[in-house]
Homo-oligomer: A and B are copies of this chain.
């Protein structure tokens, strides 16, 4: 396993970690100044901005783009809504390519209003990912399926485990031609007794495309917006990173922390410095 101590260049900052409080240009500058090697912007960061200009700023700052967040929910109540979501996702995928992102993060979505049919939502997800895959390959941007913690199964992600995500990869890309892989976020997968086996399986297909860190605080008070800084929770982050790197992942370690009550209340400089200092806990 690589040592991260004093190596922020091996790490990336997901802009959500800073709470989307500054213009993206300022965030790019601050992330680079702290020595990080990458950045992962969100679509909301680019609203009202020129994508080409932002891409140039990121390149000029010497930052890799470790991911572009994230897809519009695939499951939809009507065919028209599903088609609209797919169109939004195609547009976002093209922006990911213009940014030079290594992947477009796929957050599945889940039950449309009124539905209790998770199976149907999962089939819609598979159809949508399959429909995007050709363009993703042409653009050289991998679709990074990010299973979310099962606590979000009702409203945010019908894709709940790495094994499900790998099943989906194999369904749409049976020959392992590429273009589709996994975003492994410790917050979402740490509890899974099958985690080690799933990471080995992912390694066999070279599927791990992104690796996200934060921590799970105990007790959890807000499962959406109270994620912890690495070291402040109960996740065995080094153990998971060791397995992820043993599975062939050589990309950056991306810090993604949703923290409305804590880190988003602090100055971005403090959050970035703490992220750098806490890499030793990863």
Contacts and interface: CB of A to CB of B under 8 A. Distances in A.
Nearest to A217: B154
A234 B149 contact: no
Given A122-B193, A161-B193, 11 more contacts: A111-B218, A117-B236, A118-B190, A118-B236, A149-B150, A150-B151, A150-B191, A150-B192, A153-B191, A155-B218, A223-B223
Contacts of A153: 190-191
A118 B218 CA distance: 14
Interface string A182-224: 0000000011111000000000000000000000111110010
Interface of A: 111, 115-118, 122, 149-151, 153-155, 160-161, 163-164, 190-194, 216-220, 223, 233-236, 239
Tell me how many chains of this kind the complex includes: 2
Contact of A116 (B115, B154, B155, B235): B235
A274 B115 CA distance: 23
Nearest to A115: B234
Q: Taking each of A161, A190, A194, A234, which has the highest tally of chain B beta carbons within 10 Å of its own beta carbon?
A: A234
22 contacts: A111-B218, A111-B234, A116-B234, A117-B236, A118-B191, A118-B236, A122-B193, A150-B191, A150-B192, A151-B151, A151-B223, A153-B191, A154-B216, A154-B220, A154-B233, A154-B234, A155-B218, A160-B193, A163-B194, A164-B193, A220-B223, A223-B223
B220 A160 contact: no
A111 B193 CA distance: 14
A75 B231 CA distance: 22
A15 to B, nearest CB: 24
B154 A218 contact: yes
Contacts of A191: 118, 150, 153-154, 160
Contacts of A111: 218, 234
A117 B239 CA distance: 10
A219 B152 CA distance: 9
A212 to B, nearest CB: 17
Nearest to A167: B193
Contacts of A216: 154
Nearest to A235: B116
Contacts of A116: 234-236, 239
B155 A219 contact: yes
